[in-house]
Amino acid sequence: MPIHITFPDGAVKSFDAPPTALDIALGISPGLAKQAVVAKVDGELWDLSRPIEHDARLELVKRNAPEALEVIRHDAAHVLGQAVQELFSGTQITFGPATENGFYYDFARAEPFTEADLAKIEARMHDIVQRDLPLEREVWSHAQAVDYFSAHGETFKAEWIRDGIAPDAELTVYRQGEWLDLCRGPHLPSTGRIGTAFKLTKVGGAYWRGDANNAQLQRIYGVAFADDKALNNYLHMLEEAERRDHRKLGPQLDLFHLQEEAVGSVFWHPHGYTLYREIENYIRRRLQKAGYVEVKTPMLVDRVLWERSGHWAKYRENMFTAESEERTLAVKPMNCPCHVQIFKQGIKSYRDLPLRMAEFGACHRNEPSGSLHGLMRVRGFTQDDAHIFCLPSQIGPETVAFCDLLLSVYRDFGFSDVHVKFSDRPEVRAGDDATWDRAEGALRDAIEQTGLAYTMNPGEGAFYGPKLEFVLRDAIGRDWQCGTLQVDFVLPERLDAEYVAEDGSRQRPVMLHRAVLGSLERFIGILIEQHSGAFPAWLSPVQVVVATIVSDADDYAREAVEALRAAGLRAEADTRNEKINYKIREHSLMKVPVIAVVGRNEAEQHTVTLRRLGQKDQQTLALADAAAALATEARPPA
């Protein structure tokens, strides 16, 4: 019976015997066969060499497609596994998946891998690629797989198959030369098709099956791309990321520090807290203009409220608690339930809505110490949080207004490349399906009203409602999820929030949870890396340093600082007995935007000579003119 293959353009071709995708590609053109790396059969990725034994829709995936890149990375992981076992006998393999930018493989080995080992392993990987070994798919029984891996000393693999896979299941194994691994696939036709655009990056630790009670493994990480240009661009980005790392620049610029006695919390230094307050004040001005009212809610709240809201069941393990007078109090991990308590004070009418309630809410979450990362992930943080209590008919207009506000704020901070993700219902959630249908429909209608493009992010909604996630791209191409907007019908119901409708009935408001920056700490970390610590003038902790050439100009330097401060600038004097080139170099390293140099001539003529960060040219202005010009340059956005 012939097999009918349908192509993307709708054409259909019949085959008397089960063809492979590679056979079909060769029948179209040798060039297509060379470009194809994997096939889509009825939407599922298949090996090119796997026979198609039923009528199917076929799409040939070329090397530059996203699906192909994931396969290339998965193949690189297999080559890594083979290279390690060829070089280090007795090492056991566990698992080696593709990741966002590359791959890793976890190994069980008594001796630790070293940086020198990585170089040897990478060289052997290139050798395996040059061998161009065919990647062959085999189907094994459960018993056959257990017997094979047990007999070859692969106890972890044998355990996984024995305990995690049904005894009647058929398993697929991929063989490359004499090496093989258990794998669903798909894979490239041969190791040679991987190419040379891969690199091992580091060694880390892992636990078998992700459980700290199990054996510790060694994880080797690598990156892989479709071509050498993409690899080199990525490696350059990593170098840039290292140079911009906020964990180095923060202490170097005297902004903040972290220490073990307060794990996950930030010690803000004067310059860092100046930056912090400038950002907070800017957001406060924007919120006031947008019609928000600002509130402040307690840090310690009885567990009873968290139980009613549903957060106790969901977040209990991440909440800090304290006992007092036979009551359990929780340090708030978020502000939402407390804002509902303010909303409930007094009777609210439909005429009072929308009510936009904002708070710079100090929150704490008991994040695992191993997950903490500078300012990017902390235990104590402040959210630029707000909740909009509104009518269902107001969801669309409020979403449009919020998106306009958010994008404007990001532009003011230097971010213009922003994309939106629509995150729908997670597996574990509050509320019934009808409530989620209503919330998702309302949010989808709202995002359509904004005219913004968005992509779906399945299963990543908040536990009480769907959300929009706003992802900004920084100067070196990294993506950061910062702002959110969530539609919530659940919390107002659980916490008994209501308003008097136009017909006199009592109704539940819709609650829109929204943040622009997310957390101030994390956003400052992103800003440091975005600007390499060289902030725009309005954000710079010190905007001008007046540096003296000779001690005769000390008094004038102090006068100049007073004039600059009177103009609204953050100015400091440097009258140390050091050479001017030393002072300029030091303040340049501290990323001060403007250095005003003064000597005898400037003191006599009441001028300053301005040197701007990163520029060689100098400009001499009268002090009053310089103060006015610099104040204009450093004026915060409205």
Judge whether 363 counts as a catalytic residue. no
The maximal CA–CA distance of the chain, rounded, in angstroms, is: 101
And the tokens for 191?
């190791």
Distance CA 134, CA 16 (A): 26
Q: Is the peptide bond before 66 cis (omega within 30 degrees of 0)?
A: no
What Rg do the C-alpha atoms of the chain give, in angstroms?
30
Catalytic residue among 82, 218, 383, 394: 383
Catalytic residue among 117, 181, 384, 385: 385
Catalytic residue among 73, 193, 332, 387: 387
Catalytic residue among 365, 425, 583, 591: 365
DSSP character for 98? B
SS3 at position 407: helix
**Ordered alpha helix ranges (H), 152-269:** 155-164, 228-244, 246-252
Q: How far is CA 361 from the centre of its chain?
A: 22
What is the CB neighbour count within 10 angstroms for residue 309?
A: 23
Answer for the pair 611, 618: CB distance below 8 angstroms, yes or no.
yes
Catalytic residue among 336, 338, 390, 403: 336
SS3 at position 178: coil
Answer for the pair 36, 47: CB distance below 8 angstroms, yes or no.
no
Judge whether 269 counts as a catalytic residue. no
Q: What is the DSSP string of 573-614?
A: EE--SS-HHHHHHHHHHTT-SEEEEE-HHHHHHTEEEEEETT
Distance CA 485, CA 469 (A): 7
Judge whether 385 counts as a catalytic residue. yes
Residue 1, class by beta-carbon neighbours within 10 Å (0-12 exposed, 13-18 middle, 19+ buried)? Answer: exposed
Answer for the pair 515, 507: CB distance below 8 angstroms, yes or no.
no
And the tokens for 282?
């800017």
Judge whether 508 counts as a catalytic residue. no
Phi, psi of 3 (to 5 degrees): -110, 130
Judge whether 387 counts as a catalytic residue. yes
Long-range CB pairs of 156-159 (<8 Å, 24+ gap) are 156/92, 156/93, 156/94, 156/108, 156/208, 156/215, 157/92, 157/93, 157/94, 157/182
And the tokens for 386?
């707000």
Catalytic residue among 50, 63, 244, 467: 467
Helix (H) or strand (E) holding 60: strand 56-62
Half-sphere exposure at residue 451, Cβ-oriented, CA atoms within 13 angstroms: 3
Task: Single out the residue of 271, 278, 272 nearest to residue 572, CA to CA.
Answer: 271
Residues classed as catalytic = 336, 365, 383, 385, 387, 467, 513
